[in-house]
A = this chain, B = another copy of it.
Amino acid sequence: MRVADVPDARITAPTDALVRVLLAGVCGSDLWMYRKMAPSERGFRMGHEFVGVVEEVGAEVTAVRPGQVVLAPFRWSDGTCEFCRAGLPTSCSNGGSWGGALDGGQGEAVRVPLADGTLVPVPVGPGDPRLVPVLALADVLCTGHHAARAARVGPGAAVAVIGDGAVGLCAVLAAARLGAERITVVGAHEDRLELARRFGATEVLKARGDAAARRLLELSEGRGYHAVLECVGTGTALRTALEAARPGGAVGYVGVPQDGEGVDVRTFFRRNVTLAGGITPARTYIPELLPDVLSGGVDPSPVFDRVVGLDELPEGYAAMDRREAVKTLVDLRR
Contacts and interface: CB of A to CB of B under 8 A. Distances in A.
Interface of A: 83, 86-88, 90-91, 150, 238, 247-248, 250, 253, 256-257, 260-266, 268-279, 281
A276 B278 contact: no
A247 B83 contact: yes
A278 B275 CA distance: 11
B88 A272 contact: yes
B266 A257 contact: yes
A247 B150 contact: no
Identical copies of this chain, number: 2
B274 A279 contact: no
Contacts of A248: 83, 86-88, 91
A276 B279 contact: no
A274 B276 contact: yes
A147 to B, nearest CB: 12
Contacts of A263: 262-263, 265
Given A260-B266, A262-B261, A265-B257, A275 B274 contact: yes
A263 B253 CA distance: 14
Given A86-B248, A274-B277, A276-B276, 6 more contacts: A91-B271, A253-B269, A257-B264, A257-B265, A263-B263, A273-B278
A181 to B, nearest CB: 15
Contacts of A281: 272
Contacts of A262: 261-264
Contact of A247 (B91, B250, B256, B268): B91
Contact of A272 (B270, B272, B279): B279
A272 B91 contact: yes
B264 A260 contact: yes
B265 A253 contact: yes
13 contacts: A88-B272, A90-B247, A91-B271, A91-B272, A238-B265, A257-B266, A261-B264, A263-B265, A269-B279, A270-B279, A272-B278, A274-B275, A276-B276
A301 to B, nearest CB: 28
Contacts of A86: 248
A236 to B, nearest CB: 13
B275 A271 contact: no
A260 B263 CA distance: 9
A90 B268 CA distance: 13
A274 B250 CA distance: 10
Contacts of A247: 83, 88, 90-91
A151 to B, nearest CB: 11
Contacts of A277: 272, 274
Nearest to A268: B278
Nearest to A91: B247
A237 to B, nearest CB: 11
A281 B277 CA distance: 24
The 6 closest A-B pairs by CB, nearest first: A262-B262, A91-B247, A272-B278, A274-B276, A275-B275, A88-B248
A281 B248 CA distance: 10
A261 B262 CA distance: 8
Contacts of A256: 269
B261 A150 contact: no
